[in-house]
Amino acid sequence: MDSNQFNHLVIPLSDKFFRLAKSILCNGELAQDAVQDLIVKLWEKRDNLNEVENLHGFTMRAMRNLCLDIIRKRKDETELQTDMEYSELNPYQQTEQKDLIFRIKQMINNLPELQRTIIRMRDVEGLDLDEIAFITSLTENAVSVNLSRARQKIRERILNENRKVEEMQWK
């Protein structure tokens, strides 16, 4: 793969890499660095990329594996610092932070890595189950189960949050 092909086939996937990395790492800056690392690695091995049948799946899987490596290394050193941690609402947040969109993002980030990766690959990127299965190295059935669990959890959390807001309003 020459630089022209690389610019046309790999570089346009960078935004997808970034969203996947951000979903796994829960940190924008780390995700940017991870994308850069991946692109440099892919560039160095560009001669082998012509032989890859499913370039999208292959590169997305590489992005996920790279992010999991980062998490593993960071866990050895210190606990991974996320910039979007989910926490229970305190009274101040309840009054000041009624933005449900922000809360839902936190809820998704608080899911286990596999579930948040799968729900975003499906609901944000619109990928088919077989594509997600390829990227995550799971069976389609396992992907379907994880997707269902992730959505159910988000639903429960949204309902809980809504219940709390309603209780606050009644008080």
Torsion of CA 114, 116, 118, 123, to 10 degrees: 180
- The C-alpha atoms of residue 163 and residue 55 are separated, in whole angstroms, by 45
For 128, the enclosing helix (H) or strand (E) is none
- Least separation in angstroms between residue 165's CB and other proteins is 10
CB 62 within 8 A of CB 4: no
Q: Which of 9, 89, 138, 145 binds other proteins (CB under 8 A)?
A: 145
Site string for other proteins, 76-115 (x = CB under 8 A): ------------------------xx--xx--x-------
Q: Considering beta carbons, is residue 65 or 148 the nearer one to other proteins? A: 148
Which SS3 state, helix, strand or coil, does residue 118 take? helix
Q: Which of 3, 81, 93, 137 binds other proteins (CB under 8 A)?
A: 3
Alpha-carbon distances, residue 154 vs 2, 35, 93, 99, 161 (angstroms): 44, 28, 19, 16, 10
The reply on whether position 6 binds other proteins by CB under 8 A is yes
Q: Say which residues have a Cβ less than 8 Å from residue 46's Cβ, sequence separation at least 6.
A: 1, 2, 6, 10
The reply on whether position 116 binds other proteins by CB under 8 A is no
Binding site for other proteins (CB under 8 A): 3, 6-7, 11, 14-15, 17-19, 22, 31-33, 35-36, 39-40, 43, 100-101, 104-105, 108, 120, 122-126, 128, 144-145, 147-149, 151-152, 154-155, 158-159, 162
